[in-house]
């Protein structure tokens, strides 16, 4: 059992310690690869691993908790301990992290009076219920209990959202109530307003800063902040951004390896570091986040490669070797060694073995929820994935205008089984002319492309997905709706016995043989838009708009011999074969 303290320096068992940390999100990596990632972190000379803990992943429905598979935070932390690493945990209610809704659960949006990240009884009641369960699993992982956890985070970049100290103290109090004993910290931007708004230094909570360049300039700002408060504390960059995330329809963002190494070299003599990210990993499932730029939402892609020190698939980059060289030069006493890598393989074509239109199999996937007017995705289902809205419309053999009012995020329109149009971003809410017969079936397929993970929109009702206003036909709101929540958690049970119609949203099943255990990459360049599953595991979203045109498939998700791929393709693009390659595919810019 060790003692970790934050005084004028970081102290471990009374002796100064240099924190050399890297971010590895256990939930973005298959558990079978955790060890390789942690091994490579040590190989670079680092002694600590940091991870967020996303609330929405562990409590997907209110009162329903999941810590299995790649959600096993206890297993990840214990593995880090066995490998000789210290751990920084960030169980803040909000994590940002380019993660869906910044880690906040979608079910919070079912409460009309919910004000997230505030000192309000309703939000704190839900947070306390989660912390009660979470801390029953992580409290005994602290160094005070013989574990490897040396610090925990109270909130994350709160100074970029609010300045309610009563809220920060409430979160701190809940953490301590359920067993937090190690030093606590906050992390904010390094400018004055953010540090003052988001910190609790007067309560003994360490203030850390997030940045990725101009190290001395940012550390000077952090030092001045402490000087104003009349205390001296060790300096720590809790997120030293070594790359950046990517969004659909935008070029891949990269950073020069030597530029990063020099910025790290500048920082280390004065401060501890947490490289964000050491390995980015993958936004499996529907968990990618979304940026907000004015009135426009910009969803992030499935790959969280981040141009990090290791690639999405665990391959050491030039950044690994440049940073390791800095460690060797500044701290020659720290052992470093050669990293591990993974084998990748081109398994060739996956052949089409089944196809069925969504409208032919929707009853296999979900039970309809009836209502007078359209419900949101949170009201009718889990709040993730897609929702199919259906109603009967009496027509008069003429053209009428149809409009979806306040719908998010992308809407396909169908009349009597025929495609009428698709709307996204600024197009949503514009009228579409359709030719109605006497008796008609109007259907709208709405996709949640990811909730905002940062900024003022977290507090707005706009993060409810689906149709929030209604659907107008002619100049009136249409009533009498069925809605099918399509979280696609039953996709592996599809019979593929229904009708398939060309150009319509549908499911496609493929098979291929894996002769060896190796990573592979699904080439999505011939497809339109949708999601993919390998042997029932949700790989995430693809979109022909790029910038990436692949989905990474880690070897542990494959079976020896025959493997099954299922795609939900909203644009109806049919491919008789799909290639599984030994390298990632990018859209040509």
Q: Which residues are catalytic?
A: 157, 239
Which strand (E) or helix (H) includes residue 169?
A: helix 165-177
Neighbours of 309 (CB within 10 A): 30
Cis before 97 (ω within 30): no
User: Which parts of 299-412 fold into alpha helices (H)?
Assistant: 318-330, 358-365, 377-380
| Local structure of 540: helix, strand or coil | strand
Report the alpha-carbon distance of residue 237 to residue 248 in Å, rounded: 29
User: Exposure pattern of 7-41 as b/e (b: 16+ CB <10 Å)?
Assistant: eeebebeeeebbbbbbbbbbbbbbbebbebbbebb
For tokens 């492309």, what's the residue? 449
Q: Token pair of 91, please?
A: 């169980």
Find the farthest-apart pair of alpha carbons in the chain and give their distance in angstroms, rounded.
Answer: 84
Residues facing 564 on adjacent strands:
511
Closest C-alpha to 461, from 97, 94, 57, 116: 116
Write phi, then psi, for 20 (nearest 5 degrees). -115, 100
CA torsion 404-477-445-392 (nearest 10°) is -150
Q: Token pair of 496, please?
A: 């593929």
Neighbours of 335 (CB within 10 A): 11
CA torsion 190-194-198-203 (nearest 10°) is 70
């Amino acid at each position: 059992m060790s003692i970790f303290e934050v005084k004028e320096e970081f102290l471990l068992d009374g002796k100064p310690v240099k924190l050399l940390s890297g971010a590895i999100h256990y939930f973005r990596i298959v558990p079978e690869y955790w060890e390789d990632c942690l091994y490579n972190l040590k190989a670079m000379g680092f002694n600590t691993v940091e991870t967020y803990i996303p609330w929405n992943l562990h409590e997907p429905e209110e009162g329903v908790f999941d810590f299995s598979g790649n959600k096993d935070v206890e297993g990840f932390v214990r593995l880090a301990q066995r490998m000789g690493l210290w751990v920084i945990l960030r169980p803040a209610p909000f994590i940002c992290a380019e993660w869906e809704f910044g880690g906040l659960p979608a079910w919070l949006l079912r409460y009309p009076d919910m004000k997230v990240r505030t000192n309000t009884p309703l939000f704190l009641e839900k947070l306390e219920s989660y912390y009660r369960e979470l801390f029953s699993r992580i409290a005994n992982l602290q160094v005070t209990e013989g574990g490897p956890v040396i610090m925990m985070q109270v909130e994350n970049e709160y100074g970029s959202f609010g300045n309610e100290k009563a809220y920060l103290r409430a979160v701190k109090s809940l953490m301590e109530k359920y067993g937090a004993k190690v030093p606590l910290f906050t992390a904010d931007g390094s400018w004055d307003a953010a540090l003052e708004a988001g910190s609790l230094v007067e309560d003994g909570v360490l203030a850390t800063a997030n940045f990725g360049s101009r190290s001395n300039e940012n550390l000077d700002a952090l030092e001045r902040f402490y000087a104003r408060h009349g205390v001296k504390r060790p300096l720590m960059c809790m997120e030293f951004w070594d790359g950046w995330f990517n969004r659909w329809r935008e070029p891949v963002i990269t950073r020069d390896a030597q530029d990063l190494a020099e910025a790290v070299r500048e920082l280390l003599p004065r401060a501890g570091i947490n490289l964000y990210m050491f390995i980015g990993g993958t936004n499996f499932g529907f968990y990618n986040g979304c940026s907000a730029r004015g009135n426009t939402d910009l969803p992030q892609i499935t790959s969280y490669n981040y141009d990090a020190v290791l690639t999405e698939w665990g391959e050491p980059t030039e950044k690994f070797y440049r940073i390791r060289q800095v460690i060797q030069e500044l701290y020659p006493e720290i052992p470093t060694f050669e990293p591990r890598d993974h084998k990748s393989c081109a398994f060739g074509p996956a052949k089409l073995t089944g196809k069925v239109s969504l409208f032919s199999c929707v009853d296999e996937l979900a039970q309809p929820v009836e209502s007078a007017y359209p419900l949101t995705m949170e009201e009718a289902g889990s709040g993730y994935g897609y929702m199919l809205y259906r109603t009967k419309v009496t027509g008069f053999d003429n053209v009428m205008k149809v409009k979806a009012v306040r719908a998010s995020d992308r809407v396909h329109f169908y009349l009597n089984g025929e495609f009428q149009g698709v709307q996204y971003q600024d197009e949503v809410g514009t009228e579409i002319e359709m030719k109605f017969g006497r008796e008609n079936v109007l259907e709208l397929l709405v996709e949640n492309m990811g909730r905002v993970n940062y900024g003022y929109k977290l507090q707005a009702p706009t993060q409810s997905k689906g149709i929030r206003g209604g659907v107008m036909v002619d100049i009136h709101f249409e009533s009498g709706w069925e809605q099918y929540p399509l979280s696609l958690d039953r996709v592996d049970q599809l019979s593929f016995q229904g009708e398939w119609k060309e150009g319509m949203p549908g499911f496609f099943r493929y098979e291929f043989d894996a002769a060896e255990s190796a990573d592979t990459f699904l080439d999505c360049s011939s497809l339109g838009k949708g999601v993919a599953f390998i042997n029932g595991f949700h790989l995430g979203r693809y979109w022909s708009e790029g910038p990436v045109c692949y989905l990474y498939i880690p070897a542990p998700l494959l079976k020896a011999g025959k493997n099954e791929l299922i795609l939900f393709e909203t644009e109806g693009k049919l491919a008789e074969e799909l290639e599984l390659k030994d390298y990632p595919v990018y859209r040509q810019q």
